[in-house]
Structure 1
Amino acid sequence: MKIKHSFLFTLLLVVFKSKSIYAQGFPKVKESTVPSTILKKDVKLIVRLPESYETSKKTYPVLYFLNGMDKTVEEVSTMSQKLQGDKNTSEMIVVGIDIKDENIDRMPDKAHSDKILSYFEKELIPAITKKYRVNGQKILYGKSLSGSLTLYAFLNKPTLFNGYIAASKQWYEKNNDYFTALAKKSLQNPENFKSRKIFLATLNGAYNNNNIPEVDNQMTAFSKLLMSKSGNKISAKYQAFDDWGIEPQPSFNNGLLFVSPKPKTASLTMTQNTNGKWVIMDSKKTTLYEVFPYDNGPDSPSEGLIRVVKNGKIGYADAKTYTIVITPQFDCAFPFENGKAKVSNQCKTIKDGEHSIWTSDAWQYVDKKGKF
């Protein structure tokens, strides 16, 4: 069936300042305007570093965000930071690239797009690699018109990045024909795509009350084509979303979860240190955080979680693996009961005989996903 009008093919962020996210704090930011010899113009770069960057010696993956400006880079960085706390994804450096390029379109111009990819390969990535502690894992994220460029990059320079989150504002039949033909040509060399991941997302008609099954069918077929023609060397996922929702975009969260490298998980143990405190340690015997004390011992599991303390803040960890489930961020926090826990950052501790009790006029309830 011919598609005679435009269809939404989006991976957008909701500009929604949720307290549960913005309470996490922002990583440090580095801004610069760098002249590009290849593009023959200045490019503004907005770099946000993980919270642990200054105090650790770790290396990090990098998320390159096309046409990312100050505010959107801040939002993307905060969401990726929250995923690290909630889902144990890798901390990452976020690089917003503000090219200010009006020539970027949903139908890529080969000469112009190849010039941008050359800029990535020969100028941008080497500069970031030289300046920051990176581990070689790279993700390219583009939305709206930059989504088409991201998909073009994936099909023409698959080894440039490890993961791709691609979106386009509109997906015409000619877009489908163009990218399908390009995919078939590029996948004649499937080894170039080994271990590459790509996430595609559409909005399922909710934005304009016009559900378009043709787009859904095309994108499903396209993602299957990528995997089958590559001999499953590509991991591709397509997902349609019914609504924006009130939380930050599930499409971005799901895309980042799908393509981001998973951190190596060392076995964690609970032990009592020389000061008598119960702590969680990694395989190198490094103390990661303390266990919340309860009745002269470590906190008792409640609904599979225990309370832990880091930098004076209380959070929750899995009672079996001891990995963080909810980032320590509360001054007062009760055990989970019926799927929720009572927490507050405006509380007082009052002595009650041999015990102490918490009081607050600002109690909140948090679920196991960290949502209030």
Structure 2
Amino acid sequence: MRLFLSILLLLPLLCLGQPAKQTSTPITIGTKQTIHSAILKEDRNLWIYVPKSAADTKTRFPVLYLLDGEGFFTSMVGTVDYLSALGKMPEMIIVGIENTDRVRDLTPTHFPFWASGKPANELKASGGGPNFMAFLEKEVMPYIEKRYQTQPYRMLVGHSLGGLTVLQALVNQPTLFTSYVAIDPSIWWDNKLIMKQAEKALTQKDYAGENLFFATANTMDKGMDTVRVVQDEAQGNHNVRNHLLFRETLRKSKNLAWAWKYYPEDNHGSVPFPAQYDALRFFFKKYELDKDLKDSTITLEYVKNHYRTVSAILQYPVLPAVGTVNALGYISMGEKRYDKAYQFFKMNLENYPTNAGLHDSMGDYYVEVGDKKKAMEAFRKALSLEEIAETRRKLKSLEARK
């Protein structure tokens, strides 16, 4: 017994002495593509993410255009991919626009001064915003829409000067995008020019069908609060003060669907991450089913009707979310409602026939109902589309049975 215990204690050390065989496989979430801009007279890099289900030629996607793409691409892709897998929003193509001259492109006017009025050499290149928006509208969007399966729904997301650019687009080009995300925008720019423009545009133009999420970071002096800051005149508190004043303008807007959120625990640098998530949840709050997935009253027709309503809201045809329908299939199967489970799995495959995971799920269904032949066919179909280790294991297990 003592010898046996000694071997057990030594086993981890012995294992450490035998390094495991290592393999390395890149994890890819997108591609970087270079296009030449005749408007800006330079090459520009685009960071592009396309959902896996794009392999199905029937599927088309809304597009999210992301300013400061090199900084926020990874977090935005992760957030969109995760929320869409949960059925809380549609899958989206994401286009991150990499900077070359950020100050030039993300400022609407030439204004080489800080908010305090102090001259700023760093801002001497400012004022190229109109050209940048022309580049986005006339070169980037046609490039994306020609090469990818897009829907007419477009979202623009920007932080700081990028947030200012988002507000400029909302005010001056309100039909170019469906949804706008302004994260801690630089409203102070050019003596708060955007506030004057917004006061006029938002109250006069009809913004029906347009959406805005406005995020404000806590950049106030310690001890200051959002009540007293409106009357405060300290330069260091101007950002939050301006944002609160802008909120009053939003309250006067004509049919604009908007949300304004203050983040007391986040500064200018940290606020983009939580704001990205909150913006997506705001825009797509009606996308998710309004019943718990375990609700036994959910039927195939209920799911179809829900997504007809979502399609009307988003103004393009929306297929039922892959993850949601697959979950309903497994829940029904677990409750031994096999006819219902089959209906959900079948609808998913009809909508997304090239999704390997869905063929794997159908294989699980056939295993559950005892149809070995069809289960093997489903697993083989899944593996013909994508090599999945778990699917391969299931198939080998069935082939080993006599």
Alpha-carbon spacing, 1:44–1:107, altered in 2? closer, same or farther (3 Å): closer
1:225 maps to 249
Match of 2:132 among 116, 126, 130: 116
Distance 1:31 1:194 in 2: 35
Distance 1:96 1:189 in 2: 32
Superposed CA deviations along residues 79-127 of structure 1, whole A, max 9, x for unmatched, are 1111223352111000011131243487631752111111112111111
Alpha-carbon spacing, 1:250–1:263, altered in 2? closer, same or farther (3 Å): same
TM-score by length of 2: 0.56
Q: Using CA pairs below 8 Å that are at least 6 residues apart, which structure has the higher relative contact order? A: 1
RMSD: 4.3
Deviation at 1:267, TM superposition (A): 10
Deviation at 1:202, TM superposition (A): 1.3
Q: 2:194 aligned with 1:179, yes or no?
A: yes
Distance 1:293 1:267 in 2: 15
Tell me the SS of whatever aligns to 2:34: strand
Match of 1:147 among 163, 169, 172: 163
Q: 2:238 aligned with 1:238, yes or no?
A: no
Give the structure with higher Rg (CA): 2
Deviation at 1:235, TM superposition (A): 1.5
2:211 maps to 197
Tell me the SS of whatever aligns to 1:240: strand
Q: 2:195 aligned with 1:156, yes or no?
A: no
2:95 maps to 95
1:258 maps to 282
Distance 1:77 1:91 in 2: 10
Point out where structure 1 has 5 or more consecutive residues left out of the alignment: 1-24, 271-278, 300-308, 314-344, 346-372
Distance 2:272 2:98 in 1: 22
Distance 1:219 1:54 in 2: 43
Deviation at 1:223, TM superposition (A): 2.7
Alignment of 1:208-219 (within 5 A): 209=222, 211=224, 213=226, 214=229, 215-216=239-240, 218-219=242-243
Deviation at 1:226, TM superposition (A): 2.8
Tell me the SS of whatever aligns to 1:159: coil
Residue 147 of structure 2 aligns with an amino acid whose one-letter code is: K
Alpha-carbon spacing, 1:296–1:74, altered in 2? closer, same or farther (3 Å): closer
Bigger fraction of residues in strand: 1
Work out the percentage of aligned pairs sharing the same amino acid: 24
Superposed CA deviations along residues 222-253 of structure 1, whole A, max 9, x for unmatched, are 1331341x32x212221111224999932211
Residue 278 of structure 2 aligns with an amino acid whose one-letter code is: N
Distance 1:297 1:43 in 2: 55
Superposed CA deviations along residues 238-272 of structure 1, whole A, max 9, x for unmatched, are 111122499993221111222359659799999xx
Bigger fraction of residues in helix: 2
The answer to which of 26-35 and 54-63 deviates more is: 26-35
1:297 maps to 336
TM-score by length of 1: 0.60
